[in-house]
Structure 1
Amino acid sequence: MSDDPRGRILLVRHGETEWSRTGRHTGRTDVELTDAGRAAARALPDALELVRHPVPPARVLCSPRTRARDTAALAGLTVDEIDERLAEWDYGDAEGRTTPQIRETLPGWTIWDGPWPGGETPQDVCARADAVLADARALLAGGDVVLVGHGHFSRVLTARWIGLPATGGVHVAMDPAGVTVLGFERGVPRLDHVNQRPAPGVRR
């Protein structure tokens, strides 16, 4: 008989914004959803229905950014708490810039490899992710825990769940309005679903 908890952790990335569509790094900046992002957020219940347990979640936590809060609302999720720790990676000087623009002065740059002038390092983001996961895991006896947030930070959460360093998030996809499910197999953390997306054209 499995000793796994009743719930799992569901990571939900916000829908598309103009900055995410054009590849601009969006951390602190409060950018609104595009029309396509709103449509995808409204379709999220269909993606969630495929992966979540058929009972209300024990807890729904959300990033403070408008794009995340609007995604939660459009998806029909009742947010229990705004959690500052679910904010996106702080990109520092890279904020608002695309990777090609950054590479004009820092050849070969990626968020995973750095450097990170003015922003968070992988170690900073790792500490934040570990704290979020520890708190979420403590709630799983009551059911699923939903974390509504961002792309890079959700990828770090996924990597840390399976014991990879924060930079291991490079191996995980998390598209706008994507859903990833962190579960267990006999007490061992595993990935149940990665980057589950709403069906194209589905609206509620």
Structure 2
Amino acid sequence: MTISNSGDTGRVVLLRHGETEWATTGRHTGTTDVPLTAVGEQQAVAVGELIVELELRDPLVLSSPRTRAQRTAQLAGLTVDREWDALSEVDYGDYEGLTSPEIHATVPHWTVWTHPCPHGESIDDFGSRADLVLSVVLPVLVDRDVVLVGHGHFSRALLTRWLELPVAEGKRFAMAPAAYSVLGFDHSYRQLVVHNINPSVRTGKKR
């Protein structure tokens, strides 16, 4: 499967890191540096094989500084050109390491898209970060593709801002471990080319 781009403008590939122990238990993982599980490492290798099919053009690879993102890039066969704090996951503040049910015990219906994270980032904070990242990426796309290796929630924020939607609309997009999405253009309009592609989807296995 070769995914082509419309015209000569580059594409942005959003790649989420593979599985971690915290992710499997639903714990919000922002600043904590947790490693990939053995399954996460296998996922990273497998998604790298899928990314080859994109036939990326001289890709600029930017990564979150977290180990789980760096390791995913390495196992996927990507050479990271720059570690960038701006690609870090949302700072969950007091909710770091907690699951949604644990948070709901005191703040019913909480989500990162609808409620604040005490002593962490607000949706405006990480939305502004997403805008900053895209402002740096856009000029690069004249000559090459860009791969952004990072995290679930922040990748979804990048996706919504690329589509010029409010950041809160990130709630409508899934992002599985070791999944990628491709952002591109069609007649100068920003578009979502493919979304949430991962080895499990390609093989038909249920997550």
TM-score range, shorter chain: over 0.9
The aligned counterpart of 1:179 is: 180
Q: How does 1:75-86 map to 2 (within 5 A)?
A: 75-86=76-87
Q: Which runs of 5+ in 1 are unaligned?
A: none
1:100 deviates by 0.1
1:196 aligned residue:
197
Q: Which runs of 5+ in 2 are unaligned?
A: none
Is this contact kept in 1: 2:10–2:57, CA < 8 A?
no
Following superposition, the deviation at residue 44 of structure 1 comes to 1.5
Match of 1:35 among 13, 35, 38: 38
Distance 1:123 1:87 in 2: 15
Q: In structure 2, do the counterparts of structure 1 residues 101 and 56 end up closer, same or farther at CA, with 3 Å as the change threshold? A: same
Q: Which residue matches 1:15?
A: 18
What secondary structure, in the 3-state scheme, does the structure 1 residue paired with 2:142 have? helix
The number of residues matched between the two structures is: 198
- Residues 101-126 of structure 1: CA distance to partner in whole angstroms, max 9, x if unpaired? 00011111111111321110110011
Residue 49 of structure 2 contacts residue 76 of structure 2 at CA under 8 Å; is this kept in 1? no
Shift, 1:141, TM fit: 1.5
SS in 1 for 2:182: strand
Map of 1:34-73 to 2, 5 A cutoff?
34-50=37-53, 52-57=54-59, 59-73=60-74
SS of 2:176's equivalent in the other structure is coil
Structure 1 residues 64-101: Cα deviation after superposition (integer angstroms, max 9, x where no partner) = 00000000001110000001100000001110000000
C-alpha separation between the residues in 1 aligned to 2:114 and 2:29? 18
The amino acid across from 2:18 in the alignment is G
Q: How does 1:21-170 map to 2 (within 5 A)?
A: 21-50=24-53, 52-57=54-59, 59-170=60-171
Aligned partners of 2:50 and 2:102: how far apart in 1? Answer: 34
Change (3 A) 1:54 1:116: closer
What whole-Å deviation, never above 9, does each CA across 1:13-72 have from its counterpart, x for those lacking one?
00000001110000000000000000000111222134x235431x10000000000000
Checking the alignment, whether the CA contact within 8 Å between 2:56 and 2:145 is kept in structure 1 is: no
What is the SS of the residue equivalent to 1:138?
A: helix
TM value normalised by structure 2: 0.91
Residues 187 and 23 of structure 1, relative CA distance in 2, 3 Å threshold? same
In structure 1, C-alpha distance between the alignment counterparts of 2:6 and 2:46, rounded to whole Å:
33
State whether residues 48 and 75 of structure 2, in contact with CA within 8 Å, keep that contact through their aligned partners in structure 1. Answer: no
**TM-score, with normalisation over the residues of structure 1?**
0.93
Contact 1:47–1:179 (CA<8 Å) still a contact in 2? no
The residue identity in structure 2 corresponding to 1:56 is: D
| Distance across 1 between alignment mates of 2:28 and 2:69 | 15
Kindly tell me: are residues 70 and 62 of structure 1, through their superposed partners in 2, closer, same or farther at Cα, counting changes over 3 Å?
same
Contact 1:13 1:154 in 2 (8 A): yes
